Amino acid sequence: MGRSRPARKPRRTSVARSATGGLTGGACPGPDDTGPGLALRAILSPMRVHALVLAGGSGDRFGAEMPKQFVRLAGEPILLRSIRAIAGAGIDQLVVVTHPSWLEETRALLADAALVVQPAIVVGGTTRNESTRNGLAALTGAADDDIVVIHDAVRPLVPAEVILRSIEPIMSGRADATDTVIPSADTLVVVEGDVVAEIPERARYRRGQTPQSFRKGIIDRAYREAAAVGDLSATDDCSLVLRHVPGARIVAVPGDEVNLKITTRTDMVLADRMIQMRTLSAAADPKPTRSLHGARVYVVGGTNGIGQAIAELAAEEGAKVAVDGRRTGLDVRDYPAVEAHVAAASGRLGGLDHVVCTAGVLRVGKAMDLTAADLAEVIDVNVAGSLNVARAAHDALSESRGSLTLFASSSFTLGRPNYVAYSASKAAVVNLAQGLADEWADDGIRVNAVSPERTDTPMRRRAFPGESPIGLLPARDVAVATLRLIRSDLTGQVLDVRRHDGVGQAAPAAAPIGQA
């Protein structure tokens, strides 16, 4: 974490002075903002604020077919999330530095992004420092006293407050440069080969993040001096100022743990979870992005259990609701039948805004004891059935730019004895939701999966007749979390629902068995 959706419409930027004299305002908050945007445009100074977003990495450590900055995070490419964070902070000029092999992809991505500040795009070099130098050269009309903010494209969750803290000391004249840092919770060890040489006092050390900000004349001088002696191999930009501009005032400013650098797939999982927590937690999202009043909601599997609870709660919130399931004669394994039922529901409701599929089958028993028909039923209903509903609903959801929510289970994370087909099918549903979220992003359809723990439903009670309901999750709790999800702007998410979490909050690492 140390150094080591379809495009939205532009958001207006405003600038105002707070009662205490600080800068306030900024981009109107979007669904992924941590709070109100902070306008950083100087109002008491002629300084302008320019920004470089460095996206020149090849993604080798990430292990993807494309550089990690192009991978979607909660439905939006990482690069675009980072650019929105920086551009939404009142930046005057923005330059994106990209890998030469991905220049056209970068242009295409940003052309459709409808950003408040349209970035210039330049090709990076073979090292980070060369990329920064290319970005600096692309700035137009920047004065020596202006501020340059340099940010890694793979830090998409940078809070607006961190950007503000990075700029303020330079704007107020207290610094020539700032380095965004956070404390280290781990003990630091100095090694020589495999020998421990020193264990320094941890309190003196910080982990570096971005943004790093500079007075333009200072960063230009640092690069001139560094280039003159062939020193363009630093892992950041403050170190060049430290080495080549004697007397420059570099101030450390507090960063944030959420501002992680996405380098590995583990980082991607953490970032996904952070976005989910920030968007769905009751504290962070007291006012949902969308109201369900008047929304057209279709629940497949809505005649009992979790699906019925979702349908009832949606109706209470003012939605127009249609339900289907076995009691209405729908077999989700029969695609023509699914098409007909979806079309009928769309006709009754006047279209579809949200489709939820909770239909599922659980057969308990060892794999060698269950019949082939039992096993096939689990796979066909849970996986093929979910895909059938998704395909049948695609056109209606594309027209409304709506959402599809599929149902997994806490058992998807690990195959469970005595219902291996069920847990395997729920893992497949998660993959299905994630894949469709990516495939259908350009169609304006958000796709997510809900993963509740053991839930008190008729299916659960049939499968485990001797199980005490004490400790089971009420179906209505799952419904509350599900409706928060469909009212959000999230896509490609797996929402864990647990008894002891606030609705929509993160789940414990070890999930209890099963779901109904």
Confidence bin at 67 (pLDDT 50/70/90): confident
Structure tokens belonging to residue 507: 């789940």
pLDDT of residue 158: 95
CA distance 459 to 481: 20
Condensed to tens digits (0 to 9), the pLDDT of residues 348-374 reads 999 999 999 999 888 888 999 999 999
Of residues 228 and 456, more confidence is placed in 228
pLDDT at 8 over 80: no
The Cβ of residue 233 has, within 10 Å, a number of other Cβ atoms equal to 12
Tell me, rounded to whole angstroms, the distance of Cα 72 from its chain centroid: 8
Q: Are 473 and 456 in contact (CB under 8 A)?
A: yes
pLDDT at 410 over 70: yes
pLDDT of residue 175: 98
* Plot region of 381 (φ>0 → left; ψ -120 to 50 → alpha; else → beta): alpha
CA distance 409 to 427: 8
Of residues 285 and 377, more confidence is placed in 377
Assessment of whether the complete model's pTM goes beyond 0.75: no
> CATH topology for 13-268?
Spore Coat Polysaccharide Biosynthesis Protein SpsA; Chain A (3.90.550)
The full set of domain ranges for the chain reads 13-268, 293-497
Confidence bin at 380 (pLDDT 50/70/90): very high
Q: Which residues on neighbouring strands pair with residue 407, listed in sequence order? A: 450
Give pairs for 504-509: CB < 8 Å, separation 24+: 504/276, 504/277, 504/279, 504/280, 504/281, 504/282, 504/285, 505/277, 505/280, 505/281, 505/282, 506/273, 506/276, 506/277, 507/410, 507/453
Confidence bin at 278 (pLDDT 50/70/90): low
Of residues 411 and 49, more confidence is placed in 49
pLDDT of residue 489: 85
pLDDT at 457 over 80: no
Burial of 189 (0-12, 13-18, 19+ CB in 10 A): exposed
Is it true that 13-268 and 293-497 share their CATH fold? no
Out of 3.30.70.100, 3.40.50.720, 3.40.50.150, 3.50.50.60, which CATH number does the structure's domain 293-497 have? 3.40.50.720
> Stretch 410-422: mean pLDDT, rounded?
81
CA distance 400 to 107: 28
Say whether the peptide bond before residue 77 is cis (omega within 30 degrees of 0): no
Confidence bin at 143 (pLDDT 50/70/90): very high
Condensed to tens digits (0 to 9), the pLDDT of residues 310-349 reads 999 999 999 999 999 999 999 999 999 999 999 999 999 9
Give the whole-number percent of the chain exceeding pLDDT 90: 61
Q: At what angle do helices 78-87 and 160-171 cross, to 10 degrees?
A: 40
